[in-house]
Amino acid sequence: MKVLWALLATVVAVAAQTTIDRWFSNNAIDLVLVVVVYNALSTGRVGGMLTGSFAGLVQDTLSGGVIGMAGLSKTVVGFGAGIVGTQFIVTHSASRFVVFFLATVVNAAIFMGLYELLGLRHFGTPVVAVAGQGLGNAVVGVLAFKGVEVLPGAVERRRMARSGLRR
Amino acid sequence: MAILDVRLRAGYLFLAVVIAHLVLISAQVNARTGVPILETVTFGAFAEVQRGTSAVLNGFRGAWTGYIALRNVRTENEALRQELANAQVEIQRQRALADRTRSLETILGLSNSIDLQTAAAQIIGAAASPDFRTVTIDKGSAHQLRADMAVLAPTGVVGRVVIAGPRASRVQLLVDRNAAAGALIERSRAQGVVVGAGDDRLRLDYVSETSDVAVGDKVVTSGIDGIYPKGFVIGVVDSVDKNGVAYRSIGIRPAVDFSTLEDVLVVLTPAPAEQAGAEKP
């Protein structure tokens, strides 16, 4: 069931990314990376790694780049975030924010580093762009966790309120 | 057994996945002759998802713009009527100019070289990774589209087709880091190569030291790349950085606003070089 959710979340993230990128093409958010890190923190290193691998490959095939570049970078990020999620207590918003931000930096370093190393693409000095994307991803990631945590409680409270009214 | 240890298994799995990715990358980097089959198949399948997402989104936008956001329509209508009247006058003027040009061409024995056959297409999606500047359009090889066909918008050059699936195609925008086009300054006819900067900017490279380039100059396609037809607007020079006599960098503001682009035209007419090659026995 978890695998299905991860697949569905990845497909939705890719669809959303290809839609928002039409209007906000400023590298501000990588929704696919947010899903990978979210899944890694929720399920652990194997879940994170497999989600990262799948999501990265889908991104590669849809972006026109070398297939495997985003796959590799997101595999490493997913695995790393999974280790962080299991070895450290990452339940506070601030710590999650840092994980999402660092995951973006590591992802960019591997992705851009590989392209530069192979001489296939030049990124100039992407420090500001990567930092901006890191902040964007971190905000979206933290909000996603908050939303998922708040939602069951809200549903439960509503159910309790309804049952209270009936009595 | 150590191999059954969960911690070790995860490590082995990670190593296997990383190696698989490296092998995949190596295979492509060593043999980059054509488009990989995996890419074509995935692109074709996901283009349908993008088509669906785009249709749903356009439905919402249509409902919003057609029924809810109808304020100020009267004022806008008046302004558009005025604009139309002005445009009609301009058309008359252009028609007269075209007639005059045609007669001059006849006199000089020149043929009309910008008779382009185009196909209109709608953008249904963007790149899945923010590091690439590509869009998906809703026309493919079934509509006679092929790789390396130029894509234009009413305001200027958009990019070129890189993958033509059966019902959708991927277009590399001119602002992508790997995109380039032969270009010239309209005023001084100085030649160069326009390359994408990755963001919404362009750069003009390989311009001769003796060339005359100034801020505000219009940059158009030169046609030497065999993809983009000659004379189409790319953008306007907005910065010129010189180091002595040499140009250090020439920045161009694209004529096309890529963030609001919805409909494009694909040039179906083969480029002159390709046409000449096909005509050879």
pLDDT (tens digit per residue) in B18-42: 888 887 887 776 544 456 666 666 7
How many structural domains comprise chain B? Answer: 2
Give dist(CA B240, CA B109) in Å, integer.
39
Distances (CA, A) of A76 to A48, B16, B188: 9, 12, 51
Q: Which residues in B lie closer than 8 A to residue A122 (C-beta atoms)?
A: 177
Its CATH class, for the domain covering A2-166, is mainly alpha
Residues B124 and B186 in one domain: yes
Distance from CA of B82 to the nearest CA of A (A): 30
Band the pLDDT of A107: cuts 50, 70, 90. very high
B32 falls within a domain: no
Place of tokens 């990715």: B21
Using the beta-carbon criterion (under 8 Å), do A46 and B10 form an inter-chain contact?
yes
Q: Which residues in A lie closer than 8 A to residue B134 (C-beta atoms)?
A: 63-64
The reported pLDDT for the residue numbered B105 is 67
Q: Report yes or no: B111 at the A interface, CB cutoff 8 Å.
A: no
Using the beta-carbon criterion (under 8 Å), do B131 and A111 form an inter-chain contact?
yes
Residues B56 and B123 in one domain: no
Assign residue B151 the CATH number of its domain.
Answer: 2.40.10.340
Res A166 pLDDT > 70: no
State the average pLDDT over residues A64-79: 90
Q: Which residues in A lie closer than 8 A to residue B10 (C-beta atoms)?
A: 45-46, 49, 79
Residues B94 and B224 in one domain: no
The reported pLDDT for the residue numbered B279 is 45
Residues B180 and B135 in one domain: yes
Name the stretches of chain B with pLDDT < 50.
1-4, 31-33, 110-113, 272-281
Residues B240 and B138 in one domain: yes
Q: Report yes or no: B235 at the A interface, CB cutoff 8 Å.
A: no
Using the beta-carbon criterion (under 8 Å), do A62 and B126 form an inter-chain contact?
no
Residues B227 and B262 in one domain: yes
Q: Which residues in B lie closer than 8 A to residue A133 (C-beta atoms)?
A: 130
Residues B102 and B168 in one domain: no
State the average pLDDT over residues A141-159: 81
Residues B137 and B172 in one domain: yes
B128 falls within a domain: yes
State the average pLDDT over residues A95-108: 94
- Residue numbers of the domain that contains B57: 38-108
Burial string for A57-70 (b: 16+ CB within 10 Å, else e) reads: bbbbbbbbbbbbbb
- Residues B203-212: pLDDT tens digits? 998 888 888 8
DSSP assignment letter at B68 = I
pLDDT, chain A, mean: 86
Q: Which of B72, B87, B108 is the last residue of a domain?
A: B108
Q: What is the pTM of this model?
A: 0.65
B22 falls within a domain: no
